[in-house]
Amino acid sequence: MTTPVVPPAAVATAASLTPATTSPASSPVSAAPTDAAASDQHAGPASFQGKWVAGLRLGTPLLEGGDYEVDCSTNTVGVCASSSARHDLKDRSPLVVGIDGLWHASNAMRLGLSYWLIPYSGMRLDGGNDTIHLGSSHRLLGVVEGLIALGGTSKLALRAQAGLGVLVVGGDLEDANDAFDASCQGSTATLCESDSGPHFGSSYGAQVGYLTGSRLRWRTDLAIERFAQSISTRRLQAGSNALSLKETASASRLILSVGLEL
C-alpha cells in the first residue's frame, strides 16, 4: 500500500493558515504601555521658565533696633547744644504688607520687584514711653531669588533685595511740623519752614522662605532689613541768625511673614 505523500506546497499553505503564536514581549500592543511608562519615568518636572508669579504677604517685626540722629547747624552761639545728638530707637511698626511680581529666569531663579507698605510707621526713643507715629513707609525693592527643591511641591527660597524707601509724613510728625510753623507766626523770623516730605531713604536685606503647593502656593518667610531714612528738615532764620535741624533714622529689623503666590 502506498503511503500518501503530502506535497511541499500544501505544507506551506497549511503553515500560512495556522495562527502564529506571538510572545507578549514581541507584541506591539503589550510593548506600547512599556514604552509609555519608560517615557513617564524620564519626563522631567514642569518648566516655569519665562512665567510670571504674583505674591501677597503679611508680616510683623520680631526684633528691631537702631539710631535716631538730630543734626543741628547754626551761626549763633549757644543755640545748638551739640552739632549732632544720637538716641537709641525701637521700631514700633506693627504690620508690613508685601506685594511681589517675579519672573522665572529659570526653574531655579526668579527676578522681579517687591513693594512693601508699612501703613503705621512708628518708633520709640530710648528712655521714652510713647510711640512716635511718623506716617506711612513704602519700599520698592529689586529682587533676586533662588529656589531649591525640597521634594514634592515644596521649595526653599533664598532672596536678596535692595531699593528705595519713602516716608509719607503723618501722625505725630505732621503735628510737630505744624507746631514748628505756628511758633513762627508773629515772630521776627524771616524764614520758617518744615519739610513735609515725602522723605527718601534706602533699604536692603535678605530673606529665606518655605514654599509649598503647585498652582497656588503658600509661603512663610523670615526677612532681615537694614534701612536708613530721612525723617524731617526744619529751617529758621531771623535777621542774620540761622538754624537748621535735620532728623534721620537708621535701623535693622527681623520680619516674619506669611502669604500666597499664584
Q: Is 205 helix (H, G, I), strand (E, B) or coil?
A: strand
Write down the residue that cell numbers 501722625 correspond to: 171
In a domain, 78, yes or no: yes
In a domain, 124, yes or no: yes
39 within domain boundaries: no
In the prediction, which pLDDT does 15 show?
40
Q: How far, in Å, CA of 223 to CA of 199, rounded?
A: 24
- So what's the pLDDT on residue 78? 62
pLDDT tens digit sequence for 16-66: 434 444 444 444 444 444 454 444 444 445 678 889 999 999 999 998 899
What predicted TM-score, i.e. pTM, was given to this entire model?
0.78
Query: Using one digit for the tens of pLDDT, what is the confidence trace for 165-192?
Result: 999 999 999 999 998 888 887 777 888 8
In a domain, 73, yes or no: yes
The Cα 76–Cα 61 span in angstroms is: 42
What CATH number does residue 130 fall under? 2.40.160
Domain range spanning residue 82? Answer: 52-261
- State the DSSP H helix or E strand holding residue 258, giving kind and residue range, or none if neither: strand 241-261
Q: 63 has which bridge partners?
A: 254
Q: Does any domain span residue 167? A: yes
Whether 24 is in a domain gets the answer: no
Q: What is the pLDDT of residues 92-101, one digit of tens each?
A: 999 999 999 9
Say if 40 falls within a structural domain.
Answer: no
Residue 27 lies in a domain: no
Percent of the chain with pLDDT strictly greater than 70:
80
Using the structure block, give the residue that is written with the C-alpha cell 518708633: 123
Nearest to 165 by CA among 240, 104, 226: 226
- Greatest CA separation for the chain: 153
- Please name which of 199, 202, 184, 189 lies closest in space to residue 237, comparing C-alpha atoms: 189
- Number of domains observed in the structure of the chain: 1
Query: What are the φ/ψ torsions at residue 201 (nearest 5 degrees)?
Result: -160, -165
